[in-house]
Amino acid sequence: MKPVVTVLVALAITAFAATAFAHVVEITTSIAAEQLSDDDLRAAVESAINDAVHHAIAFTPTVVALQNVRRVGDRIYFVLLIVDHDGEELVKRLATDEANDSSEPLQAPDPEDAKTL
């Protein structure tokens, strides 16, 4: 009887649990690395970013952050972080956790503390 009750309680908890959906996406897009004037380069970058935002994701972003830019051969690659409203909160929490963790230096575990099986 206890296993049946346990299963029913577990099913009730999962059925009524509220889930939060946060969208955090990292996208890489590129443009040709040609000799362009400043205005043409700006227009090409804006076009690449707009294309990624409007065609690569299926949610409405609230934050679009440029994470990295690299030139590889004849292409310029952009790494974009695209986040929705719920994702903003997640990114803020992760940044806070990362800042708190960075104050503690990482150390290798002591081999004497390891348990043998």
Q: How far is Cα 116 from Cα 49, in angstroms, rounded to an integer?
A: 53
Q: Which of the residue ranges 1-5, 16-20, 27-31, 103-107 has the most confident prediction, judged by mean pLDDT?
A: 27-31
Q: What is the mean pLDDT of residues 64-82?
A: 90
**Token pair for 13:** 């908890």
Angle at 36 between CA 81 and CA 63, to 5 degrees: 15
pLDDT band at 77; cut points 50, 70, 90:
very high
Strand partners, 49: none
Every domain of the chain and the residues it spans: 21-99
Element holding 51 (H helix, E strand): helix 38-55
What is the CATH number that goes with domain 21-99? Answer: 3.30.1660
If you ran DSSP here, which 8-state letter would residue 10 be given?
A: H
The pLDDT of residue 14 is above 50: yes
Phi, psi of 36 (to 5 degrees): -120, 150
Phi/psi of residue 3, each to 5°? -60, -35
Give the span between the Cα atoms of 30 and 51, in whole angstroms.
Answer: 11
Mean pLDDT, rounded, for 31-47? 87
Question: Can you tell me the mean pLDDT for 53-77?
Answer: 88
